[in-house]
Amino acid sequence: MTDGIPHILLVEDEKKVSAFIKKGLEEEHYLVDTAPDGEKAKTVLQTSGPFDLIIMDILMPKKDGLTLLQEIRSEGNSSPVLMITAKGSVEDKVKGLDAGADDYLVKPFAIAELLARVRSLLRRKTTEKGTMLAIADLTLDLVSHKAKRGAKQIDLTAKEYMLLEYFIRNKNTILTRTIIAEHIWNYNFDTGTNIIDVYINHLRSKVDGGFDNKLLHTIRGVGYIMKEA
C-alpha cells in the first residue's frame, strides 16, 4: 500500500473503459495508476510499484495481458491480478489463471461486480496485516472504510478517507503540505492552492468536533500532525 492507501494499477487500452473503471475505483478511495498497453504497464510497474492489485485487460497493443502477466510472475511480482477481457470461454479463463491471474472478469460487467472482486482480492492481504487502524478512541476499518470516534460514526468523502488513513498511518509525524499533496493528490497537484487546508479543516471538524481531546493539529508554517494531546 502507498502509506496505507490501496494502490492499484489499471492496464486497459480502451480509453472510455479505463476512465470508467478508474472513476469507480477512486470513488471507493483507491489510488489508481493507469497504463494503455502492456509495455507501458511494465515501465509503470518498475518505476511506481509495488501495487496492491493489478487490473489487466488481455487484448492490448504492443504487449498482451497474458504475456505481461507471465513476465511479471517470472520476475517474482506477487501482486494479485484481476484479468478483464471480452473473451469468456473456459479455455481463455484457464489460460489466464494458469499464467498467474488471481481472478477473471468478462466484459461487459457492472462496476459493482468489479468492486466486489477488488475488495475480495485486497482483503486477502489486508486480513493478514490487520483490518483496523486506531489512535486514541478514533478507529478506521480498512475493509469497510468506516470511521468512528468513540461511539460516533464519521461519514467521510473519498479524499477525507485517504487523508485520515494517511494521518493515522503516520501518527506522531509532522506531514508537510507538499508531502500530503504528493501522496493524496499525486505529484501533478497544484500546491499553490489552499485545497489541502480546506480538506484538512473539513476532516478536523468531523474527527475532533465535539471532543475535548483534539487529534489533528496544525504546526504553523510547517504542516500537520495527528497525535494525542
What is the average pLDDT across 120-124?
78
* Fold of the domain built from segment(s) 7-128: Rossmann fold (3.40.50)
**pLDDT surpasses 80 at 113:** yes
Instruction: Give residue 229's pLDDT band: very low, low, confident or very high (50, 70, 90).
Output: confident
Cell of 222: 510547517
- In CATH terms, 132-226 corresponds, of 3.30.930.10, 3.30.310.160, 1.10.10.10, 1.10.1040.10, to 1.10.10.10
Instruction: Give residue 74's pLDDT band: very low, low, confident or very high (50, 70, 90).
Output: confident
Give me the residue label for grid cell 485545497.
195
- 89 or 26: which leads in pLDDT: 26
What is the average pLDDT across 15-41?
91
CA atoms within 13 A on the CB side of 33: 28
Please tell me the distance from the alpha carbon of residue 141 to that of residue 170, in angstroms, as a whole number.
16
Q: Is the peptide bond before 6 cis (omega within 30 degrees of 0)?
A: no
* Average pLDDT of the residues of the chain: 84
Rg, C-alpha atoms of the chain: 19
Long-range pairs for 39-42 at CB < 8 Å and ≥24 separation? 39/63, 41/9, 41/11, 41/68, 42/68, 42/71, 42/72
**7-128 and 132-226: same fold?**
no
Residue partners of 86: CB distance under 8 A and separation at least 6: 59, 106, 107
**pLDDT surpasses 70 at 186:** no
**pLDDT surpasses 90 at 152:** yes
Give this prediction's pTM.
0.56
The pair phi, psi for residue 188, each rounded to 5°, is -85, 0
| Domain boundary assignment for the chain | 7-128, 132-226
Residue (of 76, 74, 34, 75) closest to 54 by Cα position: 34
Please tell me the distance from the alpha carbon of residue 197 to that of residue 16, in angstroms, as a whole number.
33
